[in-house]
Amino acid sequence: MSDAIRPIGMPKWGLAMTEGKVNAWLVEEGAEIAQGDEILEIETSKITNVFESPVAGRLRRRVAAEGETLPVGALLGVVADGGVDEAAIDAFVAQYRQHAAEAGAAAAAPEPVLLPAEGWTVRALRLGPEAAGESGTGPATPVLMIHGFGGDLLNWQLNQPALAADRAVVAIDLPGHGGASKVLPGGGDIAALAGAVRGAMAALAIERAHLVGHSLGGAIALQLACDAPEAVASVTLVCSAGLGPEINTDYIEGFIAADRRREMKATVTALFADPSLISRDMVDDLLKYKRLDGVLPALRAIADAAFAGGRQAAMFTDRLAALPVPVQAIWGEADRIIPAAHATAIADARRHVLPDAGHMVHMERPEEVNRLIAAFVTAADG
CB of 190 to another protein, least distance (A): 25
CB 329 within 8 Å of CB 345: yes
CB of 260 to another protein, least distance (A): 5
* Coil/strand/helix, residue 335: coil
Closest of 72, 80, 60 to residue 12, by C-alpha: 72
User: At 76, which helix (H) or strand (E)?
Assistant: strand 75-80
Binding pattern for the stretch 167-206 against another protein, x by CB under 8 A and - elsewhere: ---------------x------------------------
CB-based contacts of 246: which residues, under 8 Å, 6+ apart? 311, 312, 338, 339, 342
What are the residue ranges of helices labelled H in 29-126? 86-103
- Cα(157)–Cα(159) distance, rounded to whole angstroms? 5
CB of 291 to another protein, least distance (A): 4
Q: Which of 130, 293, 318, 348: binder of another protein (CB under 8 A)?
A: 293
Question: Per rule CB under 8 A, is residue 311 in the interface with another protein?
Answer: no
Query: Which residue, 261 or 319, is less far from another protein as judged by CB?
Result: 261
Binding pattern for the stretch 259-278 against another protein, x by CB under 8 A and - elsewhere: xxxx----------------
Question: Per rule CB under 8 A, is residue 113 in the interface with another protein?
Answer: no
CB of 294 to another protein, least distance (A): 8
Query: Which residue, 16 or 100, is less far from another protein as judged by CB?
Result: 16
CB of 259 to another protein, least distance (A): 6
Query: Which residue, 291 or 311, is less far from another protein as judged by CB?
Result: 291
CB of 326 to another protein, least distance (A): 37
- Cα(173)–Cα(115) distance, rounded to whole angstroms? 11
* Coil/strand/helix, residue 281: helix
The count of chain residues that interact with another protein, using the rule CB under 8 A, is 11
State the number of CA atoms in the 13 A half-sphere of 61 facing the CB.
23
Question: Per rule CB under 8 A, is residue 292 in the interface with another protein?
Answer: yes
Query: Which residue, 21 or 350, is less far from another protein as judged by CB?
Result: 21
CB of 67 to another protein, least distance (A): 9
Q: Which residues pair with 354 in a beta bridge?
A: 332
- Cα(10)–Cα(12) distance, rounded to whole angstroms? 7
Query: Which residue, 99 or 288, is less far from another protein as judged by CB?
Result: 288
Q: Which of 34, 133, 275, 288: binder of another protein (CB under 8 A)?
A: 288
Q: Starting from the edge strand earliest in sequence, which strands make up the sheet with 232-238, in order?
A: 113-117, 120-127, 169-172, 143-146, 209-214, 232-238, 327-332, 351-354
CB 140 within 8 Å of CB 164: no
Amino acid at 54: P
Q: Starting from the edge strand earliest in sequence, which strands make up the sheet with 75-80, in order?
A: 5-9, 75-80, 57-62, 32-33
Query: Which residue, 68 or 85, is less far from another protein as judged by CB?
Result: 68
Binding pattern for the stretch 15-54 against another protein, x by CB under 8 A and - elsewhere: ----------------------------------------
Binding site for another protein (CB under 8 A): 182, 259-262, 280, 288, 291-294
